[in-house]
Structure 1
Amino acid sequence: MHRPPSAEAEVADELAVVRPALLPRYEAALPGARAAVLSRLWRGLAHDPLPWVTRREQGGDGLTLHLRDGRRLHGPRPDPYATGAYVTVVRLDETDYDDPARLVTGLAVPHSASFAGELGHSVASLALSRAGQEGVRDTWPDRDWEWEQRVVDGHPFHPTCRSRPGFSVAEQLAYGPEHRPLVELGLVPVRARECLVTGEWPAALRDGRHLVLPVHPWQAAHVLKRSCEERRVAHPLMSLRTLALPGGPHVKTSLSARLTSSVRDISLPSVAASALLSDFAAVPAARADGLLHVTRTLGAAAAGSPDFAAVLRQSPQEYAGGGERVLPVAALATTGLPGSPGWLAGFARLTLAVGLRLLELGVALEAHGQNLLVVLSAAGEPVRLVYRDLADIRVSPARLARHGIAVPELPARMVTDDEDALRRKLFGSLVAGALAGAAGSGGALAAALQTAVRDLPPSPDLTALRTEPLPAKALTLMRLSPHTPGDQWARLPNPLC
């Protein structure tokens, strides 16, 4: 029976045409990319509440998953906080798998075919991303977008960390931040009366009675089906759809493609609430003892659709003083700094102090490695934090009221007094995400947390962090249950216990 070509082969064929010099490095990177994605997948299989796993059994040689149909899946003892490619083979009954896409195909569980396709794309795109990195990390960057582009492997724990379905190889090379391209944003004039606008839309992006909306070129070609006569060069950031204008703000564009878990548009409610939310966030941030800045939303506009919208934000670089650098937490692994136990403990103390303080006030940040940035002193010490992108925070009216902070009219999905939901949002993103990603292993994370929490003021939230299983998004379960809305959660072993 004829088998369709794999994503790895498809990328190789395209690469041979558009960038043949890169092909040998791409092929050499494939085994490491398979192991990196397989390691992320194994974390999900080992810890997510998958309905077809009936029992998990630890043994001297690893972990065995007993499946509902009687089969057994065996792999190494999982470290839920490891970011390296430590899993090279997983055995399903008597068959060994070193390819995550083939493993999921072999599992043959509901929705496994589509998930296997995403995993195949993730491996191929990850190998392509790694292929172009020769000599890139020899020096520390000075500009914010250069730090963003050092994050090559994408999400540290998501099996589809580099899946970009709908992007050709040429488009990945042209738009992917890890390939360090210059992207020409389209500038599309739209009648102002036809737009939803909040904040101050700048004069530079107005033309008489028209607003000029920046449009990502992929979106223009594949979704809006239009050409853009005027363009402006920008540098793509970690999220791919957000770009830095030279000397100007960051531009978040609509990009109706699935990246990791979600299709990345800009909802009309988020445009409507953006200015109000930006003003509101400044209030609790001001009570964090000068340790937190929140980038302001300058303006947001939508031309009647989530597919045609843009948000302008301050560059985090504006919060750096003389000799300081601002970089996303996801980029810390490229600096070598977290390799020092003392540095990592100090960083953990800073982030937990700020996160728990905001949570006490009534704001749960989604402080993963992309949204959370750290200000480093000239000596490389963590001194302050910067937070960006307020679209997925959670806000507690009851907690805010206790501290005399008024609650604005926010989208309903952001508002909750559920203690578990608030703690999941912060602990799942900050501890199981940003801090674990910086630490790189469960042992390093545990040591840093144990030192950090000694100096933190007691609170019910801190008690929960120290004593309860650590929440983390069940990313594998979420990709295998695509019709279940919202986040689903796993409970990881607490490194503080």
Structure 2
Amino acid sequence: MSDAEAALGAELGAVRPGLALPYAAALPGARAAVLARLWRGLTHEPLPWVARRERAGGDGVTLLLADGRRLHGPAVDPYATDVPVEQVWLDGRPYDRPARLMSALAVPHSAAFAAELDHSAASLALSRAGRPAGAGAGAPERSWEWEQSVVDGHPFHPNCRSRPGFSAADQLAYGPEHRQVVALGLAPVDEALVVGEWPERFRDSGRVLVPVHPWQAAHVLKCPPGEVIDAHPLMSLRTLALADGGAHVKTALSARLTSSVRDISAYSIETSAIVSDFMAEVASRTDGLLHVTRTLGAVTAGSPDLAAVLRESPERYADTATGERVVPVAALAATGLPGSPSWLADFSRLALTVCLRLLDLGVALEAHGQNVLVVLSPSGAPVRLVYRDLADIRVSPARLARHGVAAPAMTGRIITDDETTLRRKLFGALITGTLGATAGSTPVLREALAAAVRDVPPTVDLATLTEGPVPTKALTLMRLSPERPGDIWAELPTPLR
């Protein structure tokens, strides 16, 4: 075992000894899963120290590095999921562990990234080891239960399960895949900025009570949690469904999960009501095909480390009495539905119709598998979408004006008329993170998209998608470029050509 794997295993032996053997057994598969994500990034992203890439004999790819070394591995389908990579070879030496490969590459910032990769593999093994026995028996019923069925995390990010600063006990207590109830603290605040309606249950004697994640309370705020309220952790870990069936609460969680430190900016609090009201009006133009979970209230105590957002539960938009279900796209694999080509074509048609209509209006959704949920009919047919977390959409006043729609009264990062930015925001999430990850391979995605685009109203944006290339976040390069804030982009071949 590596240092990170051994350390997590030792902690596990102390807090949950029954998982020690399953954890050790899960390590090889977890390493191969993380290595596959890393190798995808190395073969498809614009890394400055890769001079060129060559198709080798058979199905392999060789990367010729700027310093003369050769890195060889299997050919990588950029839209493939659940295809492990057992080994790659650097100058003829095999590497089966992503952290050791990154250390051997010795490129700028590789040491820090190697540590993240090591932790990602160890945490992924823990997630898989904690999977309940007989997980196939008894399908989830509520949307938060579907979210907790996602064990492997991000389908393409090498840091799919990296949780620096989380012990084994922390992961078992707070990771959604471990299915525990989390006791959120309620921190009393004398002076706070409140936007929207803040419920009486989160007030006490004139003071606002801010829901605080227990990890944040212990490691960042360094204060006792105080009064607590039970909640079920969702896929993002920092967002939870209140156990009494009420709203979802997004908490500040100042830990690096995959790429970003998860606090809540003052900008997102200040603009939350404006964006929520605007998006509700825009969604009403989709003929009932899209709903957004409205922001009910937001609060900050003057720090991104102490803030929270309350929003509607997606279940509000499914008629559960008739048998409808609302399932996050990232959890669709657990339903078994994507295995049907006709179902995948119907889902692709729905997603493209909704997202391209909004983009034409002037709104680019960050439509990845965590933000997008699909409402399924009793027979499993995709009937409409639900979108949540409005903090990272992009809005074009110029496009809105062409349709006679008033732009929201705000400025800042959400507002842009840049065509490249708008298309990257949508297609970088929708094609890879939603449709590609659901299809699981280029051939399956191509078939679904080809069937879907015939029925999607033609727009200039659709033409850029069909002609390619497809933008996608350069997730590996971003982790190797800490000096460059914001997103870095790569280009993938369009699956339609």
Q: Is the CA contact (8 Å cut-off) linking 1:32 and 1:85 kept in structure 2?
A: no
Which amino acid is the alignment partner of residue 146 of structure 2?
W
In structure 1, what is the Cα distance between the partners aligned to 2:101 and 2:432?
25
Which amino acid is the alignment partner of residue 310 of structure 2?
L
The one-character-per-residue Cα deviations of 1:365-402 (angstroms, maximum 9, x if unpaired) are 00000000000011111000000000010111100011
Gaps of 5+ in 2: none
Is structure 2 residue 479 aligned with structure 1 residue 476?
A: no
Q: CA deviation at 1:60?
A: 2.9
Distance 1:201 1:19, change over 3 A: same
Which amino acid is the alignment partner of residue 434 of structure 2?
A
Correspondence for 2:462: 462
In structure 2, what is the Cα distance between the partners aligned to 1:86 and 1:125?
17
Is structure 2 residue 12 aligned with structure 1 residue 15?
A: yes
Q: How does 1:135-284 map to 2 (within 5 A)?
A: 135-191=134-190, 194-246=191-243, 247-284=245-282
Correspondence for 1:102: 100
SS at match of 1:406: coil
In structure 2, what is the Cα distance between the partners aligned to 1:137 and 1:427?
33
In structure 2, what is the Cα distance between the partners aligned to 1:378 and 1:139?
17
Q: CA deviation at 1:410?
A: 3.0
SS at match of 1:304: strand
In structure 1, what is the Cα distance between the partners aligned to 2:338 and 2:324?
18
SS at match of 1:64: strand
Which amino acid is the alignment partner of residue 266 of structure 2?
L
TM-score (norm 1): 0.98
SS at match of 2:296: strand
Which amino acid is the alignment partner of residue 110 of structure 2?
S
SS at match of 2:221: coil
Taking only aligned residues, the RMSD between alpha carbons, in angstroms, comes to 1.0
Which amino acid is the alignment partner of residue 453 of structure 1?
V
Q: CA deviation at 1:433?
A: 1.1
Distance 1:137 1:79, change over 3 A: same
Which amino acid is the alignment partner of residue 80 of structure 1?
P
Percent identity over paired residues: 68
Which amino acid is the alignment partner of residue 373 of structure 1?
L
In structure 2, what is the Cα distance between the partners aligned to 1:297 and 1:284?
15
Correspondence for 1:313: 311
SS at match of 1:424: helix
Is structure 2 residue 431 aligned with structure 1 residue 431?
A: yes
Choose 386-395 or 200-209, whichever is displaced more.
Answer: 200-209
Correspondence for 2:49: 52
Structure 1 stretches of 4+ moved >6 Å: none
Q: Is the CA contact (8 Å cut-off) linking 2:2 and 2:118 kept in structure 1?
A: no
Q: CA deviation at 1:138?
A: 2.2
The one-character-per-residue Cα deviations of 1:113-151 (angstroms, maximum 9, x if unpaired) are 000000000000000000111222322211121011001
Quick one: which of 284, 288, 300 aligns to 2:298? 300
SS at match of 2:62: strand
The one-character-per-residue Cα deviations of 1:344-381 (angstroms, maximum 9, x if unpaired) are 11100000000000000000000000000000011111
Correspondence for 2:83: 85
SS at match of 1:410: coil
Q: How does 1:380-459 map to 2 (within 5 A)?
A: 380-459=380-459
Choose 127-136 or 47-56, whichever is displaced more.
Answer: 127-136
SS at match of 1:91: strand
Q: CA deviation at 1:5?
A: 5.3
In structure 1, what is the Cα distance between the partners aligned to 2:163 and 2:83?
21
Gaps of 5+ in 1: none
The one-character-per-residue Cα deviations of 1:426-457 (angstroms, maximum 9, x if unpaired) are 11101111111111111111111111101111
Correspondence for 1:492: 492
SS at match of 1:455: coil
